[in-house]
Chains A and B, each alone.
Chain A
Amino acid sequence: ERRLIPAAPSIRRLARELGVDIHRIEGTGIAGRITEEDVRRAAGQAPAP
């Protein structure tokens, strides 16, 4: 069964492109929303300037 991932489709796609499992990311946004920065951080990338 599918659970609701608190991340927009473009964020979910970015996570796939960067090879990180979105399910393991702890969102830092309001209501636990996963942001682009959360994904980049999880991928070991420096946060965007």
Chain B
Amino acid sequence: MYDVIVIGTGPGGYHAAIRAAQLGKKVLAIEADAVGGVCLNVGCIPTKALLHAAEEVENARKAAEFGLEFGEPKVDLNKLGSWRDGIVKRLTGGVQTLFKANKVELKRGFARFVGPKKLEVNGEVVEGRSIIIATGSEPATLPGFEPDEQGILTSTGALKIEEGVPKRFLAIGAGAIGLEFASIMNRFGAEVTVVEFMPQILPGSDAEVANLLARILGKQGITIKTQTKAVGYEKKKDGYHVTLEHVETGAQEEIVVDKILVAVGRRPRTQGLGLEAAGVEVDAKGFIKVNDRMETSVPGVYAIGDVARPPLLAHKAMKEGLVAAENAAGGNAVFDYQIPGVVYTSPEWAAVGMTEEEAREKGINVKVGKFPLTASGRAMTLGATEGVIKLVGDADTDLLLGVHIVAPEASDLIAEAALALEMAATVTDLALTVHAHPTLAESVMEAAEHFHKQAIHIANR
């Protein structure tokens, strides 16, 4: 009998397992596939490795502007592939070492509920006082574009860069995954098109900032078509002839590409898990229903990460894992945090808190502050002045409500904004914090100053 059994060792699962062990619990973690889950094996980590390499290619080209000539970069795709794999191996090995150090028992196999607190793995039945479900998600499919990982790819297939950079690449879906692969392929020399059903890229995010990113990516040579859906394709000798249709006008066009990435979302992985045997309820979209304590409909059974609810992000899964583990250990934790989102294109996009639209819909007296990177000395010294920091705040209370960034290192800049929101900082608090000069982070301070029409480095309109 275990105190806690965790199903899945992705970011959510391994966090839950380690925290439960730290709290003195006897923990079993079960993994059907690769330790580390999607994020470490076929998600965050390998994509970030490829994005970094792709950005370095671009940086090497751009360096000519300030007199550094490297010549046209040569990319050894096999070497790049092994570098990517090496990082994945080191990190996933690290998770197993951490399990050992914390005395988390690891069992390889596919777990299936045979009772509320009973699981069957490899024909063996294991029992836990608490069960934490962290089975993650898998790529959603798009009718008419069934992936074969040859020409029609999921993100997992698209990661196999050593199989060659396609001459013409189409990404269906302008979410984080679609845009990141578009960036990778574009930098490595592909002709890239991205189609998005919704009126803007990164649907649901601050429209003004998303549209700015779309314009910047457009200038880099990526063709982005919003309000457009891919309706089908015909495979011919010269490539995939894909029919695109404008969502409103119905106008159709055909483009010819060599590879197609289907990145239209992800769906929770609950198939074959035997949730019925446990009595665990799922919602209409297949996500396991949970409350803020990460409890499912069955007492003592928790669900975390991608399988529980959107947004499907690693850091959200990690924190939910800690919340579930603490509750399984008798604590009283709730998930009541702000969740930043990041897209690792270059420049990067990052946001946390409310969008301007959301704040207005809530009836808040909204005010915004903005600072363009064209006015940032640091951005100039980096040769990257495209981007903006946008703050959304409450004009009545001065409370900060949201921060939206397009900038180099936006992924790191957003942490300050997340802390500010967690601490219930006012826009004044942000403006009064001394930011080192010259840094990109100063632009956050200046956006806060602009909120009060007192920015120094721009005219305050």
Q: Which residues of A contact B (CB under 8 A)?
A: 2-9, 12-13, 16-17, 30-34
Question: Shortest distance in angstroms between A18's beta carbon and chain B's nearest beta carbon?
Answer: 11
Q: Which 8 residue pairs are nearest across A and B when measured between Cβ atoms?
A: A6-B424, A31-B397, A31-B399, A33-B424, A8-B423, A31-B426, A16-B332, A9-B422
- Determine chain B's interface SS by DSSP, over half rule: loop
**Which residues of chain B are within 8 angstroms of A31 by Cβ–Cβ distance?**
397-399, 424, 426
Please state if B336 and A32 are interface contacts (CB–CB under 8 Å). no
Q: B337 — which chain A residues lie within 8 A by C-beta?
A: 9
Q: Which residue of B lies closest to A32 (CB)?
A: B397
Known: A31-B424, A31-B426. A4 touches B334 (CB 8 A): no
**By the criterion CB–CB under 8 Å, are A12 and B336 in contact?**
yes
Cβ distance B407 to chain A, nearest Cβ, rounded Å: 24
Check A8/B422 contact, CB under 8 A, given A31-B397, A31-B398: yes
Point out the residues of chain A lying under 8 angstroms from B399, CB to CB. 4, 6, 31-32
How far is A32 from B398 in the complex, measured between Cα atoms in Å?
Answer: 10
Alpha-carbon gap, A9 to B422, bound state (A): 6
A30 vs B427: C-alpha distance when bound (angstroms)? 12
Kindly state the separation between the CA atoms of A4 and B337 in the bound complex, as whole angstroms.
Answer: 9
Please report the C-alpha to C-alpha distance between residue A26 and residue B332 in the assembled complex, in whole angstroms.
22
Q: Are A2 and B336 in contact (CB under 8 A)?
A: yes
Q: Does B401 count as interface, using CB distance less than 8 angstroms?
A: yes
Give the complex CA separation of A12 and B423 in angstroms. Answer: 10
Residues of B327-375 whose CB lies within 8 A of A: 332-334, 336-337, 353-354, 362
Would you call A4 and B423 a contact (CB within 8 A)?
A: no
Q: How far is the CB of B284 from chain A (nearest CB, A)?
A: 18
Residue contact A7 to B334, C-beta cutoff 8 Å: no
A8-B429 Cα distance, complex, nearest whole Å: 14
9 CB < 8 A contacts A-B:
A4-B353, A4-B421, A4-B424, A7-B424, A16-B332, A17-B332, A30-B426, A32-B397, A32-B399
B401 and A4 contact, CB distance less than 8 A: yes
Residues of A close to B397: CB separation below 8 A: 31-32
Interface string of B320-332 (1 = CB under 8 A from A): 0000000000001
> Shortest distance in angstroms between B313's beta carbon and chain A's nearest beta carbon?
15
CA distance A31 to B336 in the complex (A): 20
CB distance from A15 to the nearest CB of B (A): 10
| Residues of B contacting A5 in the complex (Cβ-Cβ under 8 angstroms) | 336, 424
Beyond A8-B422, A32-B397, 14 additional contacts (C-beta under 8 Å) are A4-B353, A4-B399, A4-B421, A4-B424, A5-B336, A6-B399, A7-B424, A8-B424, A9-B337, A9-B422, A12-B336, A31-B398, A31-B399, A32-B399
Interface-central residue, A5, A7, A31, A33, by most chain B CB under 10 Å: A31
**Who on chain B is nearest to A3 by CB?**
B362
Q: Which residues of B contact A16 (CB under 8 A)?
A: 332-334
Q: Considering the chains assembled together, what is the distance between the CA atoms of A30 and B336 in angstroms?
A: 21
B421 contact set on A, CB distance < 8 A: 4
Interface bits B394-438 vs A (CB < 8 Å: 1, else 0): 000111010000000000000000000111101000000000000
B196-231: contact bitstring with A at CB < 8 Å (1 yes, 0 no)? Answer: 000000000000000000000000000000000000
Bound CA–CA A31/B176 (angstroms) = 34
User: Which residues of chain A have C-beta atoms less than 8 A from B362's C-beta?
Assistant: 3
Q: How far apart sit A7 and B338, CA to CA, in the bound complex (Å)?
A: 12
